Structure 1
């Protein structure tokens, strides 16, 4: 009986250690090859224009057991892709992104809100053109798994928010070109090697 008791105690102890290890925060690095923030807006009421940024980096830290985390995403504003080379340059001017003075935009979370163990919204601050405004990203999709190719823990998410470009001193042509901008981001992040 004593060996059986000792074995049981060892299993319980190891199980407790594993649970403790799982409860610790995990930091993931943004995969820039599968993360492309997009923005869309009304163009004279004729169409909804959608563009994206091709270069993004940052980290996501999650403690799903504790219901806490942090998001820090940096967008290279000079990597904007509108589908038209001339407009790529135009939109980087002072009236819009002013990338000569502010080449990056940054989102930093203040709180991640969980429901049933998964993030459903992220409160934080978006800084663009040197102006910081509070925003809330609504998370419509979240997944966590071992990446099938990299064989490391990975997460994926899709989130969106709506901001006014006039809040960031980028309001040229308002109201003809929409003031409200929908920002969406589909991202993947992986635990680094």
Structure 2
């Protein structure tokens, strides 16, 4: 009976204390409920059969509205309602933005033995985003400390730092430099750029989602992004592999890269 809904951000986080309002076709409010800390809304009072409008609001997010039809069961199953941060359909204001490593992650995963994935992350990196008045000319430049790779296994990390993979003694840094920013949807962009790894530069495009902009507790302004890409190891001369049986390689040839980035407005980070 009643209303069932889950309120989430685009990247899957619960929107705590979102307000869900149900109105009838005359605009009269029939029900109002607050989401809990898991973003869930549940009410038990049955609703009369008919057509309704479900409106979901939360501070800092753009409202979402949908139409629901209640039958004799008296329930609205609104499912998962996704809210976009206010400003999420545009990029942040023009100017310099500094990547905040303390609130960002640079991760990658590879298939292992053909049945599961091994995941790792780089713990040391820095970067700068420049949003241009001409959005297409905006830039991203980032540098990653190759030796900071961390998969949670010391022996594996040592091997990844060796000449079989990252070869950190000869090539201590990875660098990414963008060339262009191309719209791919209301809040999605393709970052066309070049990744240099092991001294080899190859074109790598990022599928970028802008998650919104808002104030932080230190008096600054932050913007959030999520980006993904796929790389082939052999494009960067990482050809090491071990065939375990029947042609199955111990490590997959493709790497999936996942970036969760917070950037602070300005050219310095809060101390």
**TM-score calculated relative to the size of structure 1:** 0.81
Return closer, same or farther for 1:124/1:189 CA change in 2, 3 Å cut-off.
Answer: same
- Match status 1:158 vs 2:203: no
- Match status 1:179 vs 2:230: no
- Does the CA contact (< 8 Å) of 1:158 and 1:185 recur in 2? yes
What SS does the aligned partner of 1:124 have? strand
2:11 aligned partner: none
1:99-138 matches, within 5 Å, as 99-114=168-183, 118-138=187-207
* Aligned residue pair count: 169
1:168 aligned partner: 236
CA distance in 2 between counterparts of 1:115 and 1:43 reads 32
CA distance in 2 between counterparts of 1:119 and 1:165 reads 26
- Does the CA contact (< 8 Å) of 1:140 and 1:158 recur in 2? yes
Per residue, is there more helix in 1 or in 2? 1
| Structure of higher CA gyration radius | 2
Return closer, same or farther for 1:46/1:117 CA change in 2, 3 Å cut-off.
Answer: closer
**TM-score calculated relative to the size of structure 2:** 0.58
Offset of residue 40 of structure 1:
0.6
1:66-85 matches, within 5 Å, as 66-68=134-136, 69-85=138-154
Structure 2 unmatched runs, 5+: 1-91, 243-247
Partner of residue 90 from structure 1, selected from 159, 179, 191: 159
2:108 aligned partner: 39
Return closer, same or farther for 1:70/1:118 CA change in 2, 3 Å cut-off.
Answer: farther
What SS does the aligned partner of 1:178 have? strand
Offset of residue 116 of structure 1:
6.9
2:213 aligned partner: 144
What is the Cα-based RMSD across aligned positions, in Å? 2.0
Structure 1 unmatched runs, 5+: 1-22
1:12 aligned partner: none
What SS does the aligned partner of 2:103 have? coil
CA distance in 1 between counterparts of 2:160 and 2:238 reads 10
- Does the CA contact (< 8 Å) of 2:188 and 2:207 recur in 1? no
CA distance in 1 between counterparts of 2:112 and 2:152 reads 15
CA distance in 2 between counterparts of 1:118 and 1:58 reads 22
- Match status 1:60 vs 2:129: yes
- Does the CA contact (< 8 Å) of 2:111 and 2:117 recur in 1? yes
